[in-house]
Every structure is written in C-alpha cells, then in structure tokens.
Structure 1
Amino acid sequence: MTTNALAPLYRNPVATRKLVVFGCFLVSAITLIPVVMMVLVAFQSDGESMAAKPSFWPSSWHPENLQRAFELVPLGKYLINTVIFAAGTTLLETITAALAAYAFARLNFPGRGWLFGIYLATLMIPSQVTLIPQFVLVAKLHGIDTWPGMILPHAFTALGVFLLRQFFLGIPRDYEEAARLDGANRWQAFLRVIVPLAIPAIATLAVFKFISQWNNLLWPLIISNTDATRTAAVGLQAFQDTNGTQWNLLLMAATITTVPLIVLFFLTQRWFIRGITMSGLGGR
C-alpha cells in the first residue's frame, strides 16, 4: 500500500480512529480465542472432552464439573495459598521498592548513578540463572516448604525500583521542601507527601507483581513439597498428573484460577492505566 493510498486516512481522523478501533478489536478477539475455548471445554462431559475429534462447543453443559474440580484436588487450599504467596510478595516489594526508589530519586550520596546502573543491570540476568543459588540459600536457611522461603526471594526486584523512581523524579521537589519547612523530617515527608502522590504508580507496580506471582510456577514448584504451601499453578500440574487426561476438569480448574485475575484487573483498571501513563512506561 503506497503513501498515496493512505492519504485519505491521514486527512480523515474519524476513519483513522475507526480503523484503529477495528484493529484493536480484531487483536483482542484473536487473543481471547484460547480463553473462550478453555471455558467451553470446561463445561463438556468426560467423553466429549477426551474424544479423538474434539468439539469445542459442548453438546450439553455440565456445571457440575465445578464441584468435581474442587472434590478431586484441594483446589480451595491452593487458591488460598496463591493469595498468601502473591499478596505477601506484592506487599513486601511495594514497600522495599518505594524506599529504594525514593533514595535513588531524592537522596544525594556518592556513587548513586553507578549503583543505580548496576542495580538495573540485574534485569538482564534471566531468573533461571539465579534459581539454583536461591534454592541452595533457602535450603541452608531451612526455608524449604515454608512461607518465608517462598516469599522473601521474590520480594525485591530492580523493575519495581525503576518504575517508582521514574515517577518520583516527576514529583516537584517544592512539595517536599514545603513539608520540610513545616517541620516534617525526611521520613514524614516521604510518607505524607511522596507516597500519596505516587499511589497510581504504586498501584501499577502492585498489580504487575500480583499477577506475575499468581502465575508463578517455577519457584513454588521447587520450594513447595506439600499442599500446605502449594499454589494454584503447581496444583494444576498435580491435577493433571492425578487425573490423567480429564481435560474438562483440568480446564475447569484453570478457569477458576483465572477468574480472580480478571476481577482484579477490572477493579484496578483505572489505577493501572493511569500509573502506566504517568510512570514512564507509556512511551514518554
């Protein structure tokens, strides 16, 4: 398509907007196809889901698969464990990332630029490379199959510090200086001025972290040995091992574990989008 062929779109913003909306709708529809197929198969009968020529649309709906999924494995326990794991890592990282980001954005100390650069360089190291050293360290500290052993290694990341630092740099120093003139110390200025203004960025970081840890499979898989700390992602694997090829029940369990993330996104969508556009991840 030549530039002359695209000229009418440039001169017609309404047509351009409709084309962009149609493109977004098409991409969204294609992305949702696996999710829709998962939900449809989840309500099929055992024989229909295991047929040699599967049909994704159920010939008859079986809502009792929901109860069967909870009866075959302790799915409720897995969901509670996932909430504890994801919420614990999210809470600790938002606290540690906010403190470190404030130090890099507001405090002047020797080597700050070099230290921040080295800290960001850790983002280039794949998590699989540090998996074995983390496991050995946690094992020496007797943290296998314990909540501290699962949560603490994932409570500190350079990405969260970078995200909040970019936002803190955009907050005018006048606000903080006014609080200092009113008698507030550095800690009070951080809690009463910086943190309230950074709520969108903090909420964005929290949503990113919660979703990533909710879907985390590798670390809970090697650390958790019992149902006491086993998360939903690991539980789905055990579900498949236990029940073979009962795809309808497996996908029903997967549907159940996906619903909380969908609800979370719609509840935090306003903060999520606002935080991305204001924190430097929106292309500014």
Structure 2
Amino acid sequence: MSRVTQVAKVADRERTAARLLKSSADKFYDPLVDIDWDAPVVAGKHYHPEHRVSLYGTDLWDRMTPEQRIELGKHEIASIASNGIFFEVLLMQMLLKQVYKHDPTSDHVHYMLAEIADECRHSTMFGKACKRFGAPAYGPPWWVKQLAKALPVFGQGPSAYAAILVAEEVLDRMQREHMNDESLQPLIRMVNRIHVLEEARHVTFARQEVVQGMAGAGPVARHYHRALTAVVSYFVMLCLVNPKVYAAVGLDPKVAARAARENPHFRATLHYWGERIMKFLDEAGLVGGPTMPLWRKAGLVKK
C-alpha cells in the first residue's frame, strides 16, 4: 500500500468516526432509565412473530396449543438475545485490542470506545429483557464458547469485522420487523427499536473496515478472511436457537431441533435475516469458493 493510499485511508476513517461520534452523542439510550422494566406483560401478545418461530409450519407446530406457540416464541427470543450478548462480548474484546494498536487521540479510537459503551448497554438490555420475561439466558453450547475464545486471537482485520457484522445484521433484520409489529409485547418492540437505532452506527463503522481491509488484502489474506468469515458465520447461525428452548414447552429437544433444521419455513427466515449482509459480503469478496457449503449449511445461501 502506497504512502498516499495509507494517508487517504486514515483520513477517511477519521471523517467517518467523527460523524459517528456526533451521532452517538446526539442520540443514545440508557436501558436502565429509558425502559420501564416494571411494565406488565400483556396477556395474549407474542414475543416473536409466529411465522418466524423455528417450528412454524411443521407437524409439531400444528399439534401445539396457542399458549405453547407464544411460549416457544418467548424462549426463542431469549435464546437469540443471549447469543447476541455472547457475540457482543466477543466484539468488545476485539475492539479493545484495536484500541491498543491505534492513536488514543484519534476519532477512530474514540468511536471504538463509544461503540464498546453502546455494546455494554445493549448486553445489559438483552439480559434484563430475558430476566423480565422469566426466560433463561440460553447462549451458545459450551463447546462453542470454548472455540470462540480463539476468535479475538485469529480474528484480525476485515474477517473479524465481517463475522461480527453477520451477527449484528441478522439481528437487525429481525428487529426491524419486530419493532413495527403491534402484535408483539411492547417491551420487545422497545428493546428492538433501541438496538436498531444504535446498531446502525456500528454497521456503518464495520462495513467501512471490511471494505478498506479487503481492498488492501493480497491473495493469501483474501482466502484466509473468506474462510474465517464463513466459519464464524456458520456458528452464529447455528447458535441462534438453542435446542433447550424446546424443552421449555414440553418438546423433545433432539426431535424438535431436527424438525427446525429441516423446516423450509425456518430456512426461508434465516435466508431473509441474512439477505442484506450476504449481498454486502459477496460484493466485498468474502463469499465464494470452498466456503460455499458452510454458507448453505448456515442457511444464509439457498441450497
């Protein structure tokens, strides 16, 4: 990379960071203050649109009562939210490592610190939502947690941002639908509205890092980033709905999880949630080649 290109890249980063910092200062929420956690749960309202629940359209779904369907939606949202916490903590670790490497007087670093503060509030918000609805913080399986310890070590450059973008933008696509759905619990809609507003800044920042990083990557680095992005994205999608949620409504977790994996309605939902980020990753050169079976298995590319 030439000296001129490096200077232009830093200047572009600084302009974006300065703009995002101003946005962060102008509009942010404190979930401990801005959400009424004591508001009553509304009887009969859903936590998750029925057509987005993993078993929707299956024989198991047809045999469930309306109450069981609402309860399953609640537990699936708790699983997705607690996985959101898990991936936000990984993101914060990676951002803190970047803070060490860059000029602490720069707007670029100041915005990374602002994003970390946002993610701390979001993790608190998701945790309190699970607690308010009486659902466990399922999170990913223990073995995924162990594997994920390596991500802040191996996740460097554009693939680190790209993998986290998959988690962020899949949630964002889901939450944009939720926040406008009046059939859902008011608390669910408020949590989603806050996250969508603040996550838009994070997506802008991460997308720029991906584009700039891939523009400067050589052939070997491009293959590495493509492979790591696919692997992490597969685990993101695999973990969204923990099989333990099915036991909460009296179903056999193994049987129900298999039905969900084979459910064309749920695969269509996964594809819909990932449609926008997959278009971006493809344009950035991060999709293709030997990684395609993983993308298909994750439900982000149609079989």
- Does TM, scored on the shorter chain, surpass 0.5? no
Q: TM (normalized to structure 2)?
A: 0.32
Structure of higher RCO (CA pairs closer than 8 Å, 6+ residues apart):
1
